[in-house]
Amino acid sequence: MKVKQLFLMTLVLAGSQLRAQEQQPFRLTLAQAREYALQHNKILLNARDQAVSSKEKIRESIAQGLPQVNGSLDYMTYFNYEMEFSFGGGEGGIDVTQPPFSELPYDDGDREILLILGSMFGSSEPIIMDDQLSGQVQISQLIFSGQYIFGIKAAKIARQLAEQSVVASELDIKENVTNSYYIILTTEQTLEIIGENLANLTKIQQHTENLYKAGVAEETDVDQLRITVSQLKNTQKALERMNQLNYNVLKFQLGVAPDAEITLVDDLDRLMESIDSQSALMTDFDITKNINYRLMESQVALNKKLLDIQNMSYAPTIAGFYSYTEKFITTAFDLTPNHLAGFNMSVPIFSGGMRRAQVAQAKINLNISRRNQEMVKDQLETQKRQLLFNYQNALENFNTQKENVAVAGRVYKSIQNKYQQGLASSLDLTQANSNYLNAENNYLSSVLTMLQAQTSLDKLFNLL
């Protein structure tokens, strides 16, 4: 009993520890969030499975040209069917003692031959068709097929395309997770500023209400502050709901459960310090390292192989085979050999113009893919210029908003001190507070734009 109780207690404690571990929040830096998403994002997992499937497709294509061995077991019954063979002569056969044979001159040797012939061409006993049971093993081997050769090459390029698609998906996931991480940090910092501002305004409101009760302040001052505090609370609640939505998006991108708790470790200041703006603006753009351009290169190579496959449809296909049949049960009348071997050569002669049309389509697809490659190259060059332009604008706006928020903060504190001393009105205070919040919002917006511009450049330069 004691052993049983100890065992049950161990299970309970283990279950409690497991639940505690499940309830622990994810504490993730930006780098950890990216890495976690690369391992658990369901869209990315599907892309990787498709890449693995493309590898198996190559094995399938290669296997078609390797020896193929097939076995079969056949059983057949004739329901004791009786087969009769008669090659003429009637029911009595050939009687050599009767005319016209008796009138012919022949010796004893001729007589013996005629008797044998009479037994062969006369009536015979019926043959009963017994059941049949046989096993067969057949080996076939493709000897030559141009379409097979180029089909394997095309399958290898298709696998390369699938692997490159995984890389493209990884970059997309990294970009999405990074931007979601930045948005949440920006929203949370905005909520902190609003919370501090709300606490400060609430104290001023209470102080003003006390002054109003004492007959020192006016009722309009109390009303003005009450409306400002109420609007600020509404803004706070709206941002909290928006931030919860942002967390839900990040959870989906990470591949975690919707009810999981996530804590972001990095902060905006540290992330902004890691940005080297001069290095970003001076980075050389090697288009051959861009995944979108590499995808188009592989697509052009694939279409070349597909054209080769269609051209090889005019070439013959040669295959050989060998078959062995073991007859376990057979009839008395069996003319089928045990061993068979041979080869087959299929020569395309006329297809009504179908092969010519297929070759023409493959050429058109190749030309389209080449033009698409050129368009992607032009688009990437244009995108590089646009992203650098956006980055430069974001950097300049960030520096301006950083200075502006410092000025607005000093003005707000000055007006607040004057209001407490009775040297400024409640309207001046609420206006200064509004200006300060707008400056903080513009600053955080510029931080987010700056970080997102950096992320876009990193993705374009394959540095994400």
| CB contact set of 69 (below 8 Å; sequence gap of 6+) | 137, 138, 139
Centre a 10 Å sphere on the Cβ of residue 384 and count the other Cβ atoms it contains.
Answer: 17
Is 385 found in the same domain as 279? yes
64-68, 225-229, 334-338, 392-396 — which is least confidently predicted?
334-338
Report yes or no on 53 lying in a domain.
Answer: yes
Is 241 found in the same domain as 157? yes
Is 177 found in the same domain as 284? yes
Q: Does the pLDDT value for residue 324 go beyond 60?
A: yes
- List, for residues 213-239, the tens digit of each pLDDT value: 888 778 888 888 899 899 999 999 999
Q: 């493709």: which residue's tokens?
A: 142
Task: Identify the three-state secondary structure at position 24.
Answer: coil
Is 155 found in the same domain as 103? no
For 438-450, what is the mean pLDDT? 93
Q: Does the pLDDT value for residue 97 go beyond 80?
A: no
For 26-36, what is the mean pLDDT? 92
- Going by pLDDT thresholds of 50, 70 and 90, the confidence category of residue 96 is low
Angle between helices 219-254 and 426-460 (to 10 degrees): 20
Report yes or no on 440 lying in a domain.
Answer: yes
Q: What is the pLDDT of residue 439?
A: 93
User: How far apart are alpha carbons 29 and 264 in whole angstroms?
Assistant: 6
Is 85 found in the same domain as 55? no
Residue type, 214: A
23-27, 117-121, 202-206, 344-348 — which is least confidently predicted?
117-121
Q: Which domain holds residue 103?
A: 81-119
Report yes or no on 397 lying in a domain.
Answer: yes
User: How far apart are alpha carbons 435 and 419 in whole angstroms?
Assistant: 16
Q: Does the pLDDT value for residue 280 go beyond 80?
A: no
Task: Identify the three-state secondary structure at position 106.
Answer: coil
User: How far apart are alpha carbons 262 and 33 in whole angstroms?
Assistant: 10
Is 268 found in the same domain as 360? yes
Q: What is the pLDDT of residue 214?
A: 84
Is 89 found in the same domain as 57? no
Is 248 found in the same domain as 214? yes
Is 372 found in the same domain as 452? yes
- Going by pLDDT thresholds of 50, 70 and 90, the confidence category of residue 464 is confident
pLDDT above 70 coverage of the chain, percent:
85
User: How far apart are alpha carbons 142 and 361 in whole angstroms?
Assistant: 28
- CATH number for the domain spanning 166: value is 1.20.1600.10
Q: Give the sheet arrangement for strand 339-346, strand by strand.
A: 68-76, 132-144, 317-329, 339-346
For 414-429, what is the mean pLDDT? 85
**pTM for this entry:** 0.78
Report yes or no on 4 lying in a domain.
Answer: no
Q: What is the pLDDT of residue 18?
A: 45
Q: What is the pLDDT of residue 13?
A: 53
Q: Does the pLDDT value for residue 91 go beyond 60?
A: no
- Going by pLDDT thresholds of 50, 70 and 90, the confidence category of residue 94 is low
Please report which helix (H) or strand (E) contains residue 38, including its range: helix 30-40
Q: What is the pLDDT of residue 114?
A: 63
Report yes or no on 33 lying in a domain.
Answer: no
Q: Does the pLDDT value for residue 347 go beyond 80?
A: yes
Is 308 found in the same domain as 201? yes
- List, for residues 105-134, the tens digit of each pLDDT value: 666 666 666 666 665 555 556 667 788 888
Is 190 found in the same domain as 53? yes
Q: Which residue has the higher pLDDT, 17 or 252?
A: 252
What is the number of domains present in the chain? 2
Beta bridge partners of 27: 263
Report yes or no on 436 lying in a domain.
Answer: yes
Structure tokens at 238: 């709206």
Q: Does the pLDDT value for residue 308 go beyond 60?
A: yes
15-19, 63-67, 339-343 — which is least confidently predicted?
15-19
Beta bridge partners of 214: none
Report yes or no on 136 lying in a domain.
Answer: no
Q: What is the pLDDT of residue 388?
A: 93
Report yes or no on 2 lying in a domain.
Answer: no
Is 302 found in the same domain as 168? yes
For 287-293, what is the mean pLDDT? 92
* Greatest mean pLDDT range, 140-144, 255-259, 376-380: 376-380
Q: What is the pLDDT of residue 28?
A: 92
- List, for residues 35-86, the tens digit of each pLDDT value: 999 999 999 999 999 899 988 888 888 888 889 999 999 998 888 777 665 5
